[in-house]
Structure 1
Amino acid sequence: MCRDGDGLWAVIDGMGGHDAGDLAATIIRESLDAVTLGGSIAHRLLAVESALLTANHAIRHHAALHLRSKPMGATVVVLLIYRDEAAVLWAGDARLYRHTDQGTVLLTRDHTPVQALVDAGEIDERQAMTHPRAHVIYQAIGNGDKLELEQARFDISAQQQFLLTSDGVHSVLTVDQLGQLMAEGASESVILKAALNAGSKDNVTAVKVSAGEHGE
């Protein structure tokens, strides 16, 4: 979702089966659509966090009433930009990358057991992409009563670009490959096509944001 005028962008990836995942994603999207954004980046971050906590409760309530509490939820990554500051808030394995002339870096850390193996130096990025537990996550909106959202704040400059992706994209494209696409000025549709051509079997979603167009 994109609220360009408000400096808010998000990628939401439903889980728990097609219908349940779609509904969870819709609940989150509607909650983020209703957020009133104002004040500092810290105030905006708090507003988004509150909206996601509300969505978490709503999803769990629906699952308890209609799905006998079967798993239902969604991973999410939200980017906020206000003036020369930005913030990211996420749950699960949806990601945010930052691209500059110096290269592309991953700004988020997947909430997955496989990420823990990467952090420990036991496997590398390529091995993580093909690991049999690659799709196991331990944090998502709707996944538990106690939602622990991770967040980070950072300064930005007009030359920076950002890319938000679902795991259907970064499960088949490395940081270097995504960086090359960004360097070539690839559109969102070109990035999604590259993921599909690389064999993605999951939902593919990507949102590109240029800081220079939204820093005011």
Structure 2
Amino acid sequence: MRFAALSDKGKKRSVNEDNFFVNEKLNFFMVADGMGGHAAGEIASQIAAEVSASFNFSLVDPLEDLNNLTQLINEEIIKKSKKNIDYQGMGTTFAAVLIKDKMLYYTNLGDSRIYIYNQKNKILKKISQDHSLVADLLRKGKITKSEAFNHPQKNILTQALGLEEKLDLDQGKLKLEADDYILLCTDGLSDMLKEEKISYIFNYNKELKIISEKLLEKALSNGGLDNITILVVDWNE
């Protein structure tokens, strides 16, 4: 299975608090966007990547695996934040997928995103649900999609790993189709590029490396206000 991954601190941040991890053998992919003072966000997202790397996937029930992994990451971040005063309040978003037998299993918490782009029908579909104030307003019909993209409070999260013991995860599964590409990204990409532009870049570029580079280049040229992490996967290979 082919993939391309890029992570950049952007133009305004001094530290990159994003992390990602790939297990090619298991077809597992994740991105995490950390938050918290004293560079604690970097620690939280790093914990997400490290726990993912050491987690024992049974693959009997991939959704249960993802649920257990997410709960474990949450516990580890909370445990570490209690031991170090500088880490108190740290947290991270978490978006992860497992691909098995032409099925995509996913879990998400926060505002990192999982998209599917189909090269044949040229349709980009966001399959994850954001946990944010603006996403709640959008789902309730109180603001439009365009207003959500430009909303001054769009970075206020309603959930993240490491903040509370109880999680309300966004999880699901779907059957992958021929010509599907999977995109995982932090909000450093999705806050800088509207979905129409993301779709355009997929439409006019076929190579994963070029797609990821074009996405990063455009996010930076549009301001690069946050850390940017991009994972593009071609599951057909």
TM-score by length of 2: 0.84
Match of residue 45 from structure 1: 63
SS at 1:209 equivalent: strand
Structure 2 counterparts to residues 34-73 of structure 1, below 5 A: 34-40=54-60, 43-67=61-85, 70-73=88-91
Q: Could you report, residue by residue, the CA deviation over 1:167-215 in whole angstroms, capped at 9, with x for unpaired residues? A: 01001111111111111224212211111111131110010011212xx
Q: Is the 8 A contact 1:73 1:140 kept in 2?
A: yes
Residue 137 of structure 1 is matched in structure 2 by 157
Displacement after TM superposition at 1:68 (Å): 6.8
2:124, 2:195 within 8 Å by CA — same for their partners in 1? yes
Tell me the percent identity. 26
Q: Name which of 216, 222, 225 aligns with 1:192.
A: 216
Amino acid corresponding to residue 204 of structure 2 in structure 1: E
Task: Note the alpha carbon deviations across 1:86-111, whole angstroms, 9 max, x for none.
Answer: 11100000101111122111111110
State yes or no: 1:24 paired with 2:48. no
In the other structure, the counterpart of 1:206 is: 230
Which residue type is aligned with residue 222 of structure 2?
A: A
Query: Any gaps of 5 or more consecutive residues in structure 2?
Result: 1-20
Contact residue 75 and residue 141 of structure 1 kept, 8 A: yes
Unaligned runs of 5+ in 1: none
AA aligned to 1:10 is M
Change (3 A) 1:18 1:202: farther
Deviation of 1:69 after TM superposition, in Å, equals 6.9
Contact 2:38/2:87 (CA < 8 Å) preserved in 1? no
Q: Which amino acid aligns with 1:112?
A: S
Contact 2:116/2:125 (<8 A) preserved = yes
Secondary structure at 2:25's aligned position in 1? helix
Of structures 1 and 2, the one with the larger relative CO (CA 8 A, separation 6+) is: 2
More helix by share: 1
CA distance in 1, matches of 2:142, 2:168: 26
- RMSD of aligned C-alpha atoms? 1.6
Residue 176 of structure 1 corresponds to 196
How many pairs align? 211
Q: Distance in 2 between matches of 1:124 and 1:166?
A: 22
Structure 1 consecutive aligned stretches of length 4 or more whose deviation exceeds 3 Å: none
| Residue 4 of structure 1, CA deviation | 2.1
